[in-house]
Chains A and B, each alone.
Chain A
């Protein structure tokens, strides 16, 4: 609930005499404690100031103080950590959440500063990404028990830096599961658009890191599609997610999927569905996504648009799996191309129908533009030859005409 809006509404009700002033105060008192500190502008200004300070400290460290002995360098760098931790404890004891969250954020940055200083002093090679992982691990208890937004972003950013460093070396550390679990937990607590997006992106790169650490090659776009199915399953299972955030996330997913699918309808594009690596990790992931969707089957039947999307996604993944399984058969590439075109056309047709049924203007225009784009691109990049393409277009026109007839018979008579 948006407290400020409630406050304005209560003031109006009191002014119109709908409720008394005392009743208004009682209603506001019910929700006053639900305003998180991080939703205040003051908190964000201070968090920004702390981030600036953090960058300043890292630049001071980068100047290198090797003329001072180890103990002096360490003592100078430990000072902000000690002060920030003491401030955090003091603020917690006073019950000052805003100050405590900021102090934990400063302490987390100061801890990273110390990690990097010791790595600098001992010339620990920039080759090993453990320093960033240690930094993330050290601040995980803060994320776990005080999951403020700045800490969540700090952990997410650092964890991504670590993942990219590890991927460059084709390595994996078992401890890396801990930050992933902490990010997942924070996402489950918050259940908003940003935290879900951050988690899905993190999971995608984390899985990539696992894959590359086993020396596996990129399996193709089927890998991205499998992650989309997992993201959809997650979205369907989050009971606390608001309808608005669900819609935004779903639109991002659907837009990404149809852009990829359109690319796969090209002669050369379909080759990216399955590249050459092992396909089983993508299939296993897609199975996890499908199993995650299964308990929501009743809910899915009530959401035909989501159902159409899920089925199209699953069918494209199956096409990728079959392409990998029978890769030695040359004709299969043509079959896969026919399949991606059919999935694209038929699913957009189904979405168009749903848009008309539900009177969803945005969906209607989205599906129409998608179909027009497809017909234009196929006009340039033909199916086999002119006559085959002409025949396919004629069949598509017949399908649209049939849809129109069906609409007339069902709804307009």
Chain B
């Protein structure tokens, strides 16, 4: 080699990023607890990762008068972290509150408002938790679409103590 190349950096940085990515993806599964969330489905394609089932949760569009919350008057944008509190009933989670700070006890999930949301003008809020895509082979993805016609489908998720969550799979119930 004529010039001295920083080979450890050129070779190692991709590996460090991969290790970091896998670790952070696995952490909620390792340290969290498993729950079920009711979902609605549709089936698009991602050009890098193939077919996925886009999941809609009961909190994806949440009526604010149906839960407790401490939102202050003003603008909330995607990127602002909010905390969604759940109540567990028959092994399934149901949203009960939305707060600006972490909850001391209970089950709660880190969520972000989708696009811009003005309180108190808006009566409902659209939330995302990073649990919105379930990747599956095309035939499986279509089968999940059909499943919704037959009955209720639940997302099996792991949620850790910091409110980070990872989607583990889908269950028919």
Contact = CB atoms under 8 A, between A and B. Distances in A.
Contacts of B47: 58
B2 interface: yes
B5 interface: yes
A55 B115 CA distance: 32
A111 B14 contact: yes
A312 interface: no
Interface residues of B, number: 46
Contacts of A62: 45-46, 48-51
Interface string A117-150: 1111111111110011010011111100110000
Chain A interface helix/strand/loop/mixed: helix
B21 A118 contact: yes
Contacts of A146: 5, 10
Interface in A131-187: 131-132, 134, 137-142, 145-146, 169-171
B151 interface: no
Contact of A169 (B5, B14, B45, B79): B79
A123 B128 contact: no
A377 B50 CA distance: 50
B26 interface: yes
Contacts of B45: 62
B167 interface: yes
Contacts, number: 135
Given A62-B50, A63-B50, A115 B21 contact: yes
Nearest to B136: A64
B172 interface: no
B6 A141 contact: yes
A145 B11 CA distance: 12
Interface centre among B11, B46, B116 (most CB of A within 10 A): B11
Interface string B1-41: 11101110111011001100110011000000000000000
16 contacts: A63-B50, A64-B135, A81-B14, A88-B10, A122-B25, A122-B26, A122-B166, A123-B133, A123-B135, A124-B130, A125-B133, A126-B52, A126-B54, A142-B10, A169-B115, A171-B78
CB-based closest 6 A-B pairs: A62-B50, A122-B25, A123-B167, A138-B14, A64-B137, A111-B14
